[in-house]
Amino acid sequence: MPVYEYKALDDQGRSRKGIIDADSESSARVRIRTLGQYPVEIRESLARKRKTGTGGLPFPFLSERVRSNEIHMLTRQLATLLGAGIPLVPALSSLVVQTKNTMLKKVIAEIKESVNEGNSLTNAMASHLKFFSNVYVNMIRAGEASGSLDVVLERLADFGEKQETLKGRLKAALIYPAFMAIVGIGILSFLITYIVPNIAKVFTDMKHALPLPTLLLIGLSEFLKVYWWLVLLLTAGIAYSIRVFVQTEYGRAQWDLLKLKIPVSGSVFQKIILVRFASTLGSLLESNVGLITSMQIVKTIVNNTQIGGVVDGAIEQIRQGRSMTRSLEDSLWFPPMFVQMIAVGEQSGSLEVMLKKVSEAYERDVDTAIMGMTSLIEPLMIVIMGMAVGFVVLSILLPIFEMNQLVR
């Protein structure tokens, strides 16, 4: 059944907008009139047109974005409605009314339409993987199979919010260093391209032999003033080359290895991946998803080919009858404490509970590691900027000191 967007006037002449599902446009008009409104404009949902390949925006980036926190809020609201005993279709109808994001409203309306036609919620959401991840869909499948959809949705909301909090901490920690770097580069560029040339002109007119640092600074200033476009072009070319290289299989493997081995930040990235691994696997197992299936999903979530390769090997060994502990203990990327806690979980038959505890423990470690990384980056950047500005100042002052000596 198609989904239509409409504009209408109510009995007081006020403009109304909404979404309605109907067999045809004429049926949609009849349904709108039964609501006491007079349709002015009706068109089929663009989200449906894009899915069926019959139309859509020529520039998808102009459409309204759906943020991850909106998905988490939607999940929690659906869990609350189902937990209160409201059937699935009326619960989805309620969400359509409550949701303010136009794109998300259309997606929920299409999911409701699909469920109304007899499809499962899993299949309905699987056709919108842009908004609902594989983890999300698989946990919904497990919830429907076990008859505990509201509980699974609650877990999904908790899981998603924790992941967003973790991302937020990392972004917040990097904002100040990034701001410092941009301001510092801007100041140095201004000094070298505008201030230094004026001072250099004074030294050149005096026809006096200049110290090496001053000559280097003047040469750099003249080069940047004339060939600044070349520097920008080279920077863009290098960035593009790195991006193309990283998209290759070998390049991606090397890039992921570098992210894990780079000093200071490497350990932070590793801990973030371990938190993602433990929390995702724990949530999937808690939702009655099988271990092999859960591991296959987790492989895509960790987003690192090095650790993904270890998970691949672990899946094969588990299929052969080995325990997860044995399959992970030889890896460089899973610390002994992490593996030991998993071993305790396997031996006690409560692996999902232990994975949750591991995740919480490593979340605390991530917080500490991010604070340590930030506290190290800030003074390091100040030292680098101080050295750069010091070189500029020294290059300008050296000729002045030498001239002072000659006058005496």
What would the two tokens of residue 30 be?
Answer: 């009849």
The pLDDT tens digits for 30-86 are 777 787 777 777 777 654 444 444 444 444 444 457 888 888 889 999 989 988 888
Domain 68-161, architecture per CATH: Up-down Bundle (1.20)
Residues of the chain with CATH 1.20.81.30: 68-161, 170-408
Q: What is the pLDDT of residue 212?
A: 85
SS3 content of the chain, % helix, strand, coil (to 5): 75, 5, 20
The pLDDT tens digits for 119-149 are 889 888 888 888 888 778 888 887 887 778 8
What would the two tokens of residue 313 be?
Answer: 């090997």
Q: What is the pLDDT of residue 257?
A: 92
Cα gap 51→199, rounded to integer Å = 63
Nearest to 7, CA basis, from 77, 102, 119: 102
Q: What is the pLDDT of residue 46?
A: 52
Q: What is the pLDDT of residue 251?
A: 92
CATH T-level fold of 170-408: Receptor-associated Protein (1.20.81)
Residues of the chain with pLDDT under 50: 47-63
Q: What is the pLDDT of residue 93?
A: 86
Question: Which string of b and e fits 331-359 if b means at least 16 CB within 10 Å?
Answer: bebbeeebbebbbebeeeeebbebbbebb
Provide the whole-model pTM.
Answer: 0.67
Sheet holding 38-44, edge to edge: 15-21, 3-9, 38-44
Q: What is the pLDDT of residue 96?
A: 84
